Amino acid sequence: MSGAGDTRWERWELIGEDGTTGSFTLDEDLGGAGELRRHGRLLGTLNWDGSAAGTLQPAGAGAIHAVPSAAARDFRIDQWIRNVASTGPTPG
């Protein structure tokens, strides 16, 4: 995760061992959008809102709409609390 300045994280990039990469822009409410690729080939796009409800649009297939379970929301909140406690609320 990275950000410009010292106000908040606004980019989320991932690299998987299998050649999968992701690049996402994060909104202030932790909603976001971006794309997934494997070895440079587009796998699909993903967007979600601040409640973690989102849409995955696989390349060449129909969209998949998802909403988080209560357990997933609790896990996300717990993870953010741990991250903020250990690294602070701003990128560094």
Q: In the chain, where are the structural domains located?
A: 11-87
* Segment 49-59 mean pLDDT: 84
Per-residue confidence (pLDDT) for residue 87, from 0 to 100: 56
Percentage helix, strand, coil for the chain under 3-state DSSP, each rounded to 5: 20, 40, 40
Q: Quick one: average pLDDT of 77-89?
A: 58
- Cα separation, 74 vs 27, in Å, equals 20
Q: Whole-prediction pTM value?
A: 0.60
CA-based nearest residue to 27, from 6, 1, 50, 46: 50
Query: Are the CB atoms for 85 and 77 separated by under 8 Å?
Result: no
Q: Mean pLDDT across the stretch 44-54?
A: 86
Coil, helix or strand at residue 14: strand
pLDDT confidence of residue 29: 81
How much is the pLDDT for 73?
Answer: 61
Task: Provide the token pair at 55.
Answer: 């849409």
Q: What is the pLDDT of residue 81?
A: 59
64 Rama sector, left if φ>0, alpha if ψ -120 to 50, beta otherwise: beta
